[in-house]
């Protein structure tokens, strides 16, 4: 009887540990994605700002094309 209870407790603790470990891995991936997006946006913004004298029409074209 004690062995069955001990085995059940071990299963519960291992399942809980696996859940916590998986949750921390997901949070790490989300943070990495956010950092990649921030770097991409900064790079695109600097490319657009480097263009000489963008007019309103050019900016609207870029906005509609999804580049701005």
Taking the model in full, what pTM does it have? 0.37
Burial of 22 (0-12, 13-18, 19+ CB in 10 A): exposed
First to last CA, the chain: 67
Tens-digit pLDDT profile for residues 21-36 = 776 666 677 777 777 8
Predicted pLDDT at 46: 82
Query: Would you say 54 and 48 are in contact if contact means Cβ atoms under 8 Å apart?
Result: yes
Predicted pLDDT at 17: 73
Predicted pLDDT at 11: 76
- Which portions of the chain are predicted below pLDDT 50? none
């Amino acid at each position: 009887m004690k062995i069955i209870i001990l085995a059940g407790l071990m299963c519960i603790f291992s399942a809980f540990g696996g859940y916590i470990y998986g949750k921390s891995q997901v949070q790490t991936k989300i943070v990495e994605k956010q950092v990649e997006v921030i770097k991409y946006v900064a790079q695109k913004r600097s490319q657009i700002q480097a263009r000489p004298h963008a007019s309103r029409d050019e900016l609207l074209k870029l906005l509609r094309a999804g580049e701005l």
